[in-house]
Each structure stands twice: as C-alpha cells, then as structure tokens.
Amino acid sequence: MAERNGISSLKVVSRKSLFFLFTMTSVLFIMSWFFVLRSTVPPHSIDHNLLPNSKLLSTLEGSKYRMQKQNVESSFGNRAILADSEDAEEDRKTEVKEKLVKLDAGKCNRNYESLLKVFMYDLPPEFHFGLLDWKPSGNSVWPDIRNDIPGYPGGLNLQHSIEFWLTLDVLASEFPNATKARTVIRVRNSSEADIIFVPFFSSLSYNRFSKGKPQVKKSGNKILQEKLVQYLTAQEEWKRSGGKDHLILAHHPNSMQEARMQLWPATFILSDFGRYPSNIANVEKDVIAPYKHLISSYVNDNSNFDSRPTLLYFQGAIYRKDGGLARQELFYLLKNEKDVHFSFGSIQKDGIRKATEGMRASKFCLNIAGDTPSSNRLFDAIASHCVPVIISDAIELPYEDVIDYSEFCIFVRTSDAIKEDFLINFIRGIGKEEWTRMWNKLKEVEHFFEFHFPSKENDAVQMIWQAVARKVPPLRLKLNRFGRFSRSPPSTDIGLKSIPLPKNFW
C-alpha cells in the first residue's frame, strides 16, 4: 500500500514538473515571437495599409488635426443638410475620444495610400439622383453638389438613406479642397480601385416604386433592378472579377430582392441578414450599416439615472408578421409594471415628438425583433442615451469588429426574455453605477451613428467606409487565388480547370 502511494505521488510530482516545464517553454516561446514581430514590423508600415486596426487607428488619429480641418470645412459647412449636431457638442465628443484612444499625436498620415480608393460607375441618373427628381443638365450624370444637393425624402425613408450619404461622400472626395478628414477617394481608373461602387439608390427605389400600378405587371422597382443587372454584367469591371470586388447598397430589407440573386458575388451594404439566405449574404462578405436615427440627437444631456423616471420604454407595432411573436409575449408580461412604457403605434409625425420625450425620460429602451431582426429603434435609443435592451437573436450590428456593444447595450436571449419575471428582474437588478457607465459609453459612441455631409471624422459615413476597407484584403486574397491560372492556356482537363475552392468561397 505504502509503496503504491509512493509511486503515485512520484508520478504526480513528475507530471507536475513536466507540466511546469511545458508551460514555461510555451510562455518563453510566445514571448520570443512577440519580440521578434515587434522588432521586424517597421512602424511606418502600419500607417500605409488597409489592415483593419491600422485603418481605424489612422482615422481616429485624424481627430488631432480637427483644428486645421475646420477652416476648410467651414467653406461648405452651412450646406450640411439633414445633419443636426452642434459644433460645441462635436468638440466635446472629439475630446472624449482623444482621451479614450491614447494615440500618439503627431503625424496625420492620411495620404493617398491609406485612403479607400473607390471607382464609381457613372450610372444613368434614373438609378440615383433621378429618384430624387433631379434632372441632369448637360452631359453630367451627377449634380454639382457644391451648389445644389437634391434633397432625400423625409420621414421613414430617411432611415435607409445610407445610399445617399455614401454617394455624396464619393462625389465630394473629388473637390479640390475636400476635407482632409476623409476615408475615401474616387479614382477614375478602375484598375487602381480597391472597390467598385454601384451608386444605385435601391432603398429609395423600393420605397418609391415597389407598388406596381394596377394595370402594370412589373413594378418600377423591378424594372430598375433588371436594368441594373444588365448594365453591370456588361461592364469590363464586372467581368474581370465576376462582381467580387463590387459594392452594392441594399439597406432596406426589401430592396434588391430580385437583383441580389444575380449580384450576390458583390459585397452588400445591409441592415441585417434577416431576409437573405446565408450563401447570398453573410457576415464575412457583407457590411452592416446603421439606420439613420429618426429621433434627433440629445445634445446637452444633463439627465441621470434618477432623473429618468421610466425604467423601460418600448414603442412600436405589437403584432408583426414574422419573428415578432416575442413582442406580444413581452407585452403581456410587462403591461402591469408601473414604470414600464409599452405601447402600440409606429413613430410618425407627432409620434416622433412623443418617442423623443419617452426615450429621453427612460433608463432602458427595448429593441425587440419585429419583421426583421434590426430596426431604427436601436439607433434612436443610442441617440437618446437610453441604454438599449436588445431582444433579437439574429440581429447584426454595424462595425461590430471594432465596437463591443456589450459595453453599452444589454442583450437578452429571446427564450429567456419571455420567461415570467426574467426580464423585469434582470433590468431592475442593474444599479445606478452600472447604468451610468453605459450611459457615458453611449455618449462616446453616438458619433459613430451620425450621418453628415461633408462626412466627419469617424461619423457613420466614414465608419461604413472603414468597414468596407476591412473587407478589401480578404477580397483580394480570394480574387488572386481565383486568378492563379488566368495566364495559363485553357485546360483540357475539366477536373483541373480551377483550384479546389474551400467551403464558403463565394
């Protein structure tokens, strides 16, 4: 017995020391790699490429030259349409951000190399500004946006107006005195471009033309999509890559419903993947953009945990077609709670005013999946500094590779949320300190969801472009792999025509 014990303790000892040895060796190995890497990557190489973080950092760094920029910007500052922020607030936010991102001051290396190079098709106006009732004069298919910016229709249309802001940003990049704080530059030679941009205002096309006239079989929206497919597939640029380096807007969940089945090799800008099969759109290939919030930004928010009387706020349609069952369940679970506002009705006209007051007076704002996993409500909540409570298992969030939403949103699984008392107890359990931390974070990030013209440092327009830029390296990898045999004579062996592609290669 004693002997056995001796042997087993010996075993333990040697196992322990082996384990120790192994751990130490691994740690040393990893550390040595770390030092090797650090010493071999020259610092300047970080400024000049489109690597995810460097891109973001280089633009964050740009806030340092805000002062220089302002002079330039003021020349068309007054023309900022639909934008509703104030400069004082802007400066405060920049300050906060500077504290947040402790980057070296100094160089602002936003040279040509670090910009996203965009080739934009000169599509006929019927695909873009023509939808805003703009009429071309002369040969140009684009309005001269230095003098006249066609207005985008208001109301609910605005939430999907991403197409408008991105296109304006590309056009503005060509002005001789464009602001330095930009992320994109338009190039005229498509071979030099990182991405080929298709300026079709597809959300507006859906909103304006999806209802066919009684006697007409095909809606105007379908006809435009057909024309777009014809146009694109006839272009050299499309043929060269099979569309893989194209960027197409389809922010409204119902937009591009026909064309996407033919144009799916491209990268889409979407609000979520709710209505897409995963081979047509997915998180690797595509870019999620925020909705433009309908509730105006809460400038000079002096509220706090105690001054916001409503615990939890929800305003929206309670009964929805798809996936919205949770709304009904939650309504019955929460309707008797005194400090919960849960009411019917979409936000239009007077609704906007009421929702603004309601969200600003609430600590938490509910986002429950409706027809689609996403909605503008999340972005309204962020703009109101009302901590979002997200109950939508399939939601996709903009720029989630660089933003950790759990710092300022509460996520609850739908299956949990509809358990009796689960949600209300959870929310009541979040104290003043934790709430205040999230509220402060909301004020730091809100800028990432604001659309401006001209675009501003890390506003929604630039954050979307940066997200596109982060798609470029994997896209190039795929294109280059795809093109390995492009100089070889055509293969006679069917089986060897292409290199075997990994799963999910689109």
The residues of the shown chain that bind ligand NAG, judged by CB under 6 A, are 75, 146, 176-177, 189, 191-192
Q: Which is nearer to ligand NAG, 104 or 236 (CB)?
A: 236
Which 3 state secondary structure label does DSSP give 472? helix
Q: Which is nearer to ligand NAG, 146 or 353 (CB)?
A: 146
Q: H or E element: which one contains 310?
A: strand 310-315
Q: Which is nearer to ligand NAG, 35 or 112 (CB)?
A: 112
Q: In angstroms, give the least distance from the CB of 389 to ligand NAG.
A: 45
With 0-12 / 13-18 / 19 or more C-beta atoms within 10 angstroms meaning exposed / middle / buried, residue 284 is: exposed
Q: Which amino acid is present at 388?
A: P
Q: In angstroms, give the least distance from the CB of 319 to ligand NAG.
A: 51
| Contact yes or no for 59/466 (Cβ under 8 A) | yes
Q: In angstroms, give the least distance from the CB of 179 to ligand NAG.
A: 10
Q: In angstroms, give the least distance from the CB of 91 to ligand NAG.
A: 23
The values of phi and psi at residue 195, to 5°, are -150, 145
With 0-12 / 13-18 / 19 or more C-beta atoms within 10 angstroms meaning exposed / middle / buried, residue 375 is: buried
Which 3 state secondary structure label does DSSP give 170? helix
Q: Which is nearer to ligand NAG, 73 or 450 (CB)?
A: 73
Q: Report which of 294, 280, 450 is spatially closest to residue 458, judged by C-alpha positions.
A: 450
Q: In angstroms, give the least distance from the CB of 73 to ligand NAG.
A: 10
Q: Where are the alpha helices (DSSP H) in 146-271?
A: 162-172, 202-209, 220-233, 236-241, 260-263
Rounded CA gap, 382 and 450, in Å? 10
Helices 220-233 and 202-209, interaxial angle, to 10°?
150
Beta strand segments in 327-386, E: 340-343, 362-368
Q: In angstroms, give the least distance from the CB of 393 to ligand NAG.
A: 46
Q: In angstroms, give the least distance from the CB of 117 to ligand NAG.
A: 11
Q: Which is nearer to ligand NAG, 58 or 179 (CB)?
A: 179
Rounded CA gap, 263 and 259, in Å? 6
Q: Which is nearer to ligand NAG, 176 or 490 (CB)?
A: 176
The values of phi and psi at residue 420, to 5°, are -55, 130
Q: Which is nearer to ligand NAG, 175 or 331 (CB)?
A: 175
